[in-house]
Amino acid sequence: MHCRAYFLLERDFQELKENDFKGITAFPVSEDLMEWGANIEGLQNTFWHGLFFQLTIHFTSQYNFVPPVVKFITIPFHPNVDQNSGRVCIDFLDDPEKWNTNYTLSSILLALQVMLSNPVLENPVNLEAARMLIKDESLYKQIVLRLFSQPIQCKKENSLEFPKDPHKLTRSIKAVSFNDYYKTWSGIATSKATEYYRSSLLEDPNFIGEYYKQKKVELKHTKEWNLKPDIPWSFGLIPDR
């Protein structure tokens, strides 16, 4: 007999298929629907557009009372993605108090798609990516685009297998070591950027204020995200309706 979470995820899957959101694909990889694979493309009008990232999503029988665990298989150089494990670190997934039972598979993936080009900098897990984004956004862009030709992948035994059907989710991705990851971006970076990398993020008291002072968030093509359940805009990115 299936648990409550199974039927909720069946509903979520149907919602995702009916809406056919641009740049988002997801599918179950286990019979009990607790394990999922997903593919996200960066938003239009951002340098992330055209870049595709594979993820795994692990639900439990407690869904939707608790959030799933989401990890990138293709790990982006991003303030809110752990560079070692690929785990997504943003409040509505990390803090049960900020999780809402109205969130669905679709709203989670849409929020992550927005997060790629609009990172949350209050509590970054990848400090190097966060500092570089603040100090030199053009350099950060170069690094992201350069690294994508050799993205990092999590290597784990008994990892999920993604379908080989190109209409479901395909992309040939070459895995590189974590050392190569830093070798690539440090090769692009100037000596000034290397100095930022060595400095502690928390030593700069103006870190967050400087970012929001200089950067104005502009989200376009938001009609693609018109979900009945609210997208978890807990990180302050509410698109125009």
Instruction: Indicate which residues carry an active-site annotation.
Output: 89
- For Cα atoms 118, 119, 121, give the angle at the middle one, nearest 5 degrees: 135
User: Residue 64: is the preceding peptide bond cis (ω within 30°)?
Assistant: yes
- For Cα atoms 223, 228, 233, give the angle at the middle one, nearest 5 degrees: 70
User: What letter does residue 46 receive in the DSSP assignment?
Assistant: S
Q: For 112, phi and psi rounded to 5 degrees? A: -70, -35
Q: From CA 126, how far away is CA 118, in angstroms rounded?
A: 14
Buried b (16+ CB within 10 A) or exposed e, 147-181: bbeebbbbeeeeeeebeeeeeebeeebeebeeeeb
